[in-house]
Amino acid sequence: MNKIVICGATSAIAVEVAREYASRGATLYLVARDGERLSTLASDLKARGASGVHTEVLDLALNEHHQALLARIKDILGAIDALLIAYGVLPDQQRCEEDVEATMQLLQVNTLSVISLLTLFGNEFAKQERGTIAVISSVAADRGRKSNYVYCTSKAALDVFLQGLRNRLFSNGVHVLTIKPGFVDTPMTAHLKKGLLFAEAAEVGRGIVKAIDRKKDVVYLPWFWIIIMAIVRNIPERLFKRMSI
C-alpha cells in the first residue's frame, strides 16, 4: 500500500492518516483548498519518511474539476492503492432551516461532489481491479435529529451510495470502506464543549489505516460508537420524535 490519494488532506483527521502512511514510506497525492496548510503538511510528511508528496490546491466542491484532477493523478502516480475522501463541513442547522440555498450548498460539498468523485474514481478502480476507496461519513448518518439533520442527511446519502458501490466493485477486487467517526476533537468541533466522548484525531487516524489494512466494510471510530448508534437507531420513531438529543 504505497500510493495514496487524499481529497481534503488538511482535515485534522486526514492529516493523521497521511502521517501514518508517510511513516510507512508511502507516496502521497494531497488535494485541499488551503495552499499554506498543504505545504506545511507536505514538509511534515517528508520529515516522517514519505517517499514522495504531491500537492494540489483545489476547491473539491466544484464537480467540473474532478475529471482533470483524476487525469493528473493518474499521470503522476500511475495506479492508486488507496483513495481517502475526507473533506466535509458541519453546517449551522438553523441557517439551513431558514435558507434553502445554504442547505443546497452543504449537500453540494458533503454529498454531491463526493458522489461525483466516487463515480469517476470508482470507474478507474474498477479498471485497476484493486485498491481501496475510503470515505469519511459520520455516526450522524445513522439517524436524523433536529439539532443537525441536514448534516445527517448529507452523510446518510453517502452511506447508501457506498453500499451500492461496494457491492458493484466487489467483483472487481476493489475494497470500499465507510468510516463513521463519533465526536473528534478537530477544528470542525472547536465550538463544542469537549466531553468524555471526544476522541483525538490521531486515534481516529490510526483506526482508519487499520480498517483499510484489514479491508473492513464499515468502521465506527472509536469502536464504542457501534454500540451507542445501535441503541440510537433502535429507538422507535414514535418516541424518538419527542426527544431532544
Partner 1 sequence: MKGESWGRYPKVSQQVRMLEKRQQNPFRSKEELYLPYGQGRSYGDCCLNDGGVLIGTRWLDSFIEFDRDQGVLRCEAGVTLAQVLELVLPAGWFLPVTPGTKFVSVGGALANDVHGKNHHGSGTFGCFVRRFELLRSTGERLICSDRENAALFSATIGGLGLTGLITWVEFSLKRAPGPWIEMESVRFGNLEEFFGLSQESDKEFEYTVAWLDCVSAGANFGRGIFMRGRHVPSEAHPKRSLLGRLSPKVPIDLPSLTLNPLTVRAFNELYYRKQRQRLVKKLVHYDPFFYPLDAVSGWNRIYGSRGFLQFQCVVPSSGNSRPIAQILSTVVENGDASFLAVLKEFGDISSPGMLSFPRRGVTLCLDIPFRGTRTLNLFARLDEMTRDFGGAIYPAKDATMSAESFQQYFPRWKEVAALKDPRCSSSLWRRVTGLTQS
Ligand X SMILES: NC(=O)c1ccc[n+]([C@@H]2O[C@H](COP(=O)([O-])OP(=O)(O)OC[C@H]3O[C@@H](n4cnc5c(N)ncnc54)[C@H](OP(=O)(O)O)[C@@H]3O)[C@@H](O)[C@H]2O)c1
Identity at 113, one-letter amino acid code: S
Strand partners, 27: 3, 52
Size of the site for partner 1 (CB under 8 A): 13
Q: Identify which of residues 48 and 72 has a Cβ nearer to partner 1 in the complex.
A: 48
- Output 197 or 230, the one with its CB closest to partner 1: 197
State the Cα angle at 200 between 196 and 205, rounded to 5°. 140
Nearer CB in complex with ligand X: 67/79: 67
Q: Which stretch binds partner 1 (CB under 8 A): 39-47, 53-61, 75-83, 151-159?
A: 39-47
Binding mask 174-213 for partner 1 (x = CB under 8 A): -------------x--x-----x-----------------
* 226, amino acid identity: I
Shorter beta-carbon distance to ligand X: residue 69 or 169? 69
Contacts with 191 (C-beta within 8 Å, 6 or more apart), sequence order:
none
Using CB distances below 5 to 8 A depending on partner kind, what does residue 219 bind out of partner 1, ligand X, none? none
Residues 6+ apart with CB under 8 A from 97: none
Rounded distance between C-alpha atoms, residue 17 and residue 12, angstroms: 9
Report the nearest approach of ligand X to the CB of residue 203 (Å). 12
Stretch that binds ligand X, among 7-15, 18-26, 45-53, 115-123 (CB under 6 A): 7-15
Contact 4, 30 (CB under 8 A): no
Phi, psi of 196 (to 5 degrees): -65, -20
Binding flag, residue 48, partner 1 (CB under 8 A): yes
DSSP classification of residue 193 = P
Is residue 83 involved in binding ligand X (CB under 6 A)? no
Residue type, 183: F
Distance of closest approach, residue 36 Cβ to partner 1, in angstroms:
5
Instruction: Mention every residue, 6+ apart, whose C-beta is less than 8 A from residue 218.
Output: 177, 178, 180
Rg (CA), the chain: 18
- Does 131 sit near ligand X (CB under 6 A)? no
Residues lying near partner 1 in the complex (CB under 8 A): 12, 34, 36-37, 40-41, 43-44, 47-48, 187, 190, 196
Residues lying near ligand X in the complex (CB under 6 A): 8, 10-13, 32-34, 59-61, 86-89, 109, 136, 138, 181, 183-184, 186-189
